[in-house]
Amino acid sequence: MAKKKRLKDLSLLEQIYLPEIVKGLALTMKNMFKPSFTMEYPEVKFEPGASYRGRPVLVMEENGDERCVACGLCSRVCPAIAIEVQANDTDKEKERYPERFEINMLRCIFCGFCEEVCPEEAIIMSKDYELAYTNREDGILGLDKLLVPVSELQERIQFLRKYK
């Protein structure tokens, strides 16, 4: 720890106090010419990196099917009990699909456990952070709002393959 400076330790110049004021003024003046950090939000939007955990979404394959096989692991692991899955059978190769898949964004805590536990890379944390709803019903997202084309999620998927 740095030793605390007492009044008697100060040099004469520091005790006069005026040079220190000038130093402080110079610092603020220097800062006045630095670019500002402010991002003018509605016009300029923050672009998060791949490690960002935003709204969880379901992956939609190129043919328009959801990748999810409705195993229910995400629902099981969710600490906030925000995910509800109802499975049904299908004739396709994956045999099961989610008939109903709801994420309650009012409960979601963005922990990313659902993404971590998913065996199919079917639920992914997106970069979407604009999550304001005007009523509670809007905060519960169904399949129609959750499905996102796989091409838009490539960055996060690559990130998960590397670091998960």
Partner 1 sequence: MSIWLQILISLVQILFTASIILVTVAYLVYFERKISAWAQNRIGPNRVGPYGLLQPFADVLKLFFKEDIVPHAANKPIHTLAPILALVIALSTFAVIPIGPPIYIFDLKIPLVVADVNMGILYILALTSVGVYAITFSGWSSGSKYSLLGGIRSSAQMISYEISMGFSIAGVLIFSESLRPMEIVNSQAGFMWNAFVQPIGFITFVVAAFAETNRLPFDLPEAEPELVGGYHTEYSSMKFAAFFLAEYANMIIAAGLIVTLYLGGWQIPYIENLGLSYTLTTSLQILGFFVKMAAVLFFIIWVRWSLPRFRYDQLMNIGWKVMFPLSLLNLIWVAILVMLMN
Residues in touch with partner 1 (CB under 8 A): 18, 21, 24-25, 27-29, 31-32, 34-38, 40
DSSP code of residue 144: H
Which CB sits closer to partner 1, 30 or 162? Answer: 30
Which CB sits closer to partner 1, 28 or 135? Answer: 28
Distances (CA, A) of 26 to 11, 18, 19, 22, 102: 20, 12, 10, 6, 57
Q: Which of 90, 56, 91 has the alpha carbon at shortest distance from 70? A: 90
Shortest distance, position 37 Cβ to partner 1, whole Å: 5
The CA-based angle 11-14-17, given to 5 degrees, is 150
Shortest distance, position 34 Cβ to partner 1, whole Å: 6
Shortest distance, position 1 Cβ to partner 1, whole Å: 22
Which CB sits closer to partner 1, 13 or 21? Answer: 21
Shortest distance, position 49 Cβ to partner 1, whole Å: 22
Which CB sits closer to partner 1, 9 or 62? Answer: 9
Secondary structure of residue 100 in the 3-state scheme: strand
Residue at 69: amino acid letter:
V
Count of C-beta atoms within a 10 Å radius of residue 121: 17
